[in-house]
Every structure is written in C-alpha cells, then in structure tokens.
Chain A
Amino acid sequence: MAQQGKAKSLKDLNEIRSLIKKHKKNDFLFAATGMFVIASLTITLIILFLDLIIDGYPKFNLDFFSNYPSRRAARAGILSAWIGSSLVLLVTFFVAVPLGIAAGVYLEEYAKKNWFADLIEINVSNLAGVPSIIYGLLALGLFVYTFDLGQSILTAGLTLALLMLPIVIVSTREAIRAIPIHIREAAFAVGATKWHVVLHHVIPYAYGGILTGVIIGMARAIGETAPIITIGALTFIAFLPPSPIMPEVPFINFEWLDSGFTVLPIQMFNWISRPQHAFHINAAATGAVIIILTAIMNGAAIKLRYNVRKKIKW
C-alpha cells in the first residue's frame, strides 16, 4: 500500500517536472520569437537604408545638389528641390511652432476645466488622426482657391504647419505637465503674474520637451508628400524662387513666398514614376538624402528626450 502511494507520487512528480519543462520551453520559444521579430524589423530598416544608398550611390556628388532637374537623367539634380524644401520648412516652422506652443500653454496653464477646453482637446487629438492627404484637400480648397494663394511656397508651408501643429501642441502639453506645481507657486508667492510664470519658468523648464516635439514634427514635414501633391505642386521646376536675402536695404524680401516650387519627396516621387531605370537611380539618391535628414533629426530628438529625462530631477 505504502509502496503504491510512493510510486504514484513519484509519477506525479515526474508529470509536474515534464509540465514545468514544457512551460519553460514555451517561455523560451516566445522570447526567441520576440527577439526574431524585432531583429527582422531592424534588419528591414537597415536593408531599406542600404538599398537606397547602394542604388543611389552613382549620384552622390556635388553636381547632384547643384543641378536642376533635367530630361536627361544623368544631368538631373535636386537643386530646386532642396532649396524648395528648405523654404517651405522655414514657413512651416515660423507658423507651427509659435502657434503650437501658445495653444499648448493655453490648454495647460490657462484653460479652465469646462466644455470649451474639452472641445479644443478633442479637436487636437482628432486632428492628429486625420490622414495627411485630407490636409492637402483642405489646403486646396482653402488656401489655393478661397484665399487665392496659388500653388506657392506659402501654401505648402501653411499646409505642413497645420499637419505639424498637433505634434507641437501635444509635446508642449506633456512637457508642461511634467513641471511640478511648487515651481509656479514659488513664483506666484513673490508676486509674479501668470504670464511671468509662464515666460520665465514654465517655458524654460519645458524647453527640452517642446524642442523634441518640434524636431519630430519637422522631420515628418520634410518627408510629407501627399498633401503637397494634392495642392498641385509642380513636379518639374528648373528655376529658383527669389532669394529671401537681398544685398540692399531692407535686406529681406518676401517675394519667394509667392513662388512656384518643388520639394525633395515630390522630386523623388516624380523620378520613381518614370519608366527609365536611370531616373530610379536619381530617386534612390533623393530618398537617401531624405532618409538621412529625417534619421538625423529623429535621432537628435530621441537623444534630446533621453537627456531631458535624465537631467531633470525636481
């Protein structure tokens, strides 16, 4: 009888051991799968990058940056595209950043908890989920035809600014929310007004977080293609907009805002759409330029956020 009981418990023990072994194996298998998935994503990213570099390699020379697009692939360059991209982003920056920070500050520091604040909040989070091409249709109807701004750098800059706005607002709010209340209370206690507190304390402390959002937003704006195609940007531009800087007084002019333009991703799209292989090389080289720019900006943003998190201890 005792013998039998002992044998049974031994059998149970073996069963339990094999069960544990099986579960441990499953655990290991899943961990391996997880690592495999992440490794393949990383490898995909690397392949994508290398593919562009290798395909576009013949075009990595100074001529590519200083030539206009051309009917002959070998002579075509991205001069008008990179200058167009820079000018468009200049407009985007000066519109989206002040507006976004102001809206973020209002929502966090000024807004009372009521339906109106809720309405703005719902709108901001909703805008972040609207597909970019819808912004293009908005710009086509509003900027191009209602305000009659034409297919200009100003229109494109404003369009991308609308797209970037939710990113700046959200990052501003997150950065402000992380600032403890006693910083504000200390400033109020010595007689500062609300605006003093915001200007001298809240914004300086939130600066790192806001900058991260701005960089990510700008990186997104560089690569954004669909809305700019929708407003009807030209794809073949062999001239430059008037220079923003003049040698005479008042040194700056704004004629360039009204000028036709092309940007890097549109130039790339145009070259991909052509059947000749020679143009695909140009497209790859342009893609490499775009992806290097965005990777540098995103990398900087990630590093910046990491530093901000590490540095600040309230």
Chain B
Amino acid sequence: MQDLVISPGLAKNFRRNFVERIIEIGLLLSAVVAVFITSAIVYILVVEAIPFFQHVSLYDFLTDTVWTPNYSIKHYGIMALVSGTLTTTIIALIVAVPLGTITAIYLSEFASHKTRETIKPILELLVGVPTVVFGYFALMLVTPLIQKIYPDLTTFNMLGPGIVMGIMIVPYIASVSEDAMRAVPMAMREGAYAMGATRFQTAIRVIAPAATSGIVASYILAVSRAVGETMIVAIAAGQQPNFTFNPVESAATITAYIVSVALGDLEHGTVGYQSIFAAGLTLLIMTLFLNILGHWTRKKFSERY
C-alpha cells in the first residue's frame, strides 16, 4: 500500500492557515479582555458589598443621613456622601455648562479654521492636567482667593473644588458639543444666512436646536466626570462626611470617602472596609446610569439629515 503523500505545497498551506487561526484567536482573546474587565468590576464590587449589606440594611443605607463608620455608634447612610457629590457636581456644572457651551459655539460657528486649530490643542492640554494638580490649585489658590471676598469660608469647602472641577470639565463639554454642531449640514447654515440671519442668530436658532442631542449628551458626560472625580475633592473639600448642600461647608464625596479609607488602615474583612465597595457600587451605578442616558440621548434624539 502506498503511503498517503501530502505535497509540500499543501503542507505549507495547512501550516499557514493554522498560524492564521492561532493569531486570530489571540487577537480575539485580547478584545475579550474588555468584557472581562467590565464583568470583573461588577463581580468584585457586588461580592465585596454583599457582606456589607448583610450587616447594614439597604433601607438604612439609602435613607440614613449620617455616615460614621469610625465612631462607636456606626451609621452607614450613603446620603451623607451623595450630598457632597451632588453639591460639588452642581457647582462644577454651573461653571462648566455656560463656559463649555459658549466655547463650543464660538469654535464651531465663529472661529476661523486657523483659530480653531490653535485653540483645540489648548483645550487638550487642559484635559491633560492631572487631577492631583487641580486639587493643589483648588486648595492653595482658589479657596484663598474666595476667602478674600468671603472671609468666613473654611479651608476645606465644596465651593473652591467645585469651581476647579468645573474648569476641568469645560473641555469635555466644549469638544463633544462642538463635534455635534459641526455635524449639522452646511446647507442649514447657508439657508439661515440667505434669510439674512447673523452668525449669532444662526447659531442660537438653527444650529443649537439641530445639535441638541449632542449638546445634552455632552452635559451628561460632564456630570458623569464630575461625579467620579476624586482627587480635587479629596484634597480640597475635606474628608469628613457631612449631610449638607451648603457649598461653603466642608463635606466628603463618595470618592473622597474611598480615598480616606484607603489611606487609613482598616483591616480586610471589617464592615468599614467593605463599606468602600458599597460606596463604589453606588458610584458605579450612578455613572453607569449617566453614561447609558448620554448614549441613549445621542442615539434617540439625533436628527438625521
């Protein structure tokens, strides 16, 4: 009987296809890492938070307004931390929404190509400033400046870091909104100009309404950034949980609380230690909700031309 002969060409072909297959699987596994990370985040936060919720009821967690994990009478009311997060976020938005929107309209409708190409890198540099540096800025420069006008302000307060956080998120609003406005077709601008509208009228009455979905999505993205921001508030807003919406008081945000526990030395397995995972889970749910809302806004309300 004759042995089965495989021609060298066929063998080479087989080897080549085999290598191709291995490479494809390798690339696929790399891409699956993204799914793995997301699942791991949810898994770790939930698994570590479960023992916490066996100790503290969900009702108390959501309704109590005192957060004192280090005192003898322990309270775990997340609202004490959420109030700090909300207050700093609102201050940041009051600063960032007008500045970001004006910047976006200016860049998209008023600036020449050359001006735009010069300004956009500046905004990118602002995005690149590490948050710990912004924190220093808030504590050492902005808070003392506000104290000159309002002397009763304490060293740690929510106003200074809120304003700095606002400056930090201006570029996010500006760049996403600008993209949305630039995506509005030229014909709509030309139509408005032909009717005798000025650039300002065109921007406000034609372009901004047409780009609403993108602009709103940029605001939601900004909220999500502000809610998750850590170092600015941990440095300049204080790390003492405090149920208040008063911007001149000091208060800890969810993120600042996680930092303060991580800096201390709580034992692995104690309720106090598990509380940072419960706080983290709350934060994740908040940002996840915002990100999905932003994504949905852009998809749902985007105009098709």
Contact = CB atoms under 8 A, between A and B. Distances in A.
Interface string A65-107: 0000000000000000000000000000000001110110111
Contacts of A208: none
A265 interface: yes
A269 B235 contact: yes
B20 interface: yes
Contacts of B170: 41
Nearest to A298: B128
A200 B24 CA distance: 16
B131 interface: yes
Contacts of B228: 130-134
Which of A27, A165, A231 neighbours the largest number of chain B CB atoms within 10 Å of its CB?
A: A27
Contact of A103 (B20, B27, B40, B234): B27
Interface string B281-297: 00110011001000100
Contacts of B188: none
B30 A225 contact: no
| Secondary structure call for the A interface | helix
Interface string A274-312: 000000100110010011001101110010000000000
Interface residues of A, number: 89
A133 B230 contact: yes
Contacts of A30: 105-106, 110, 200, 203
Contacts, number: 253
A228 to B, nearest CB: 9
B124 A137 contact: no
Contact of B277 (A52, A141, A235): A141
A7 interface: no
Given A120-B31, A133-B258, A55 B133 contact: no
Contacts of B258: 133, 136-137, 230
B198 A26 contact: yes
A219 B140 CA distance: 24
Interface stretch (B42-50, B58-66, B73-81, B244-252): B42-50
A290 B133 contact: yes
A169 B34 contact: yes
Given A27-B200, A30-B200, A166-B34, A280 B140 contact: yes
Contacts of A187: none
A168 to B, nearest CB: 11
A48 interface: yes
Contact of A294 (B28, B35, B44, B128): B128
Contacts of A125: 295
A231 B262 CA distance: 7
Interface string B210-231: 0000000000010010011111
A272 interface: yes
Interface stretch (B2-10, B86-94, B115-123): B115-123
| Secondary structure call for the B interface | helix
A37 B136 contact: no
Contacts of A216: 128
A280 B136 CA distance: 9
Given A41-B123, A129-B291, A291-B133, A269 B231 contact: yes
A141 B51 CA distance: 14
Contacts of A130: 41, 228, 284, 287-288
Nearest to A48: B137
B33 to A, nearest CB: 6
A229 B262 contact: yes
Contacts of B255: 131, 133, 226
Interface in A225-270: 225-226, 229-232, 235, 265, 268-269
Given A44-B167, A225-B230, A291-B129, 5 more contacts: A27-B199, A27-B200, A27-B201, A142-B40, A223-B133
Interface of B: 16, 19-20, 23-24, 26-28, 30-35, 37-38, 40-41, 44-45, 47-48, 99, 102-103, 105-107, 110-111, 119, 121-126, 128-137, 139-141, 167, 170, 198-201, 203, 221, 224, 227-231, 234-235, 255, 258-259, 262-263, 268, 276-277, 280, 283-284, 287-288, 291, 295
13 contacts: A23-B200, A33-B106, A41-B126, A102-B27, A103-B30, A110-B24, A127-B37, A133-B228, A134-B280, A138-B40, A223-B131, A235-B263, A290-B130
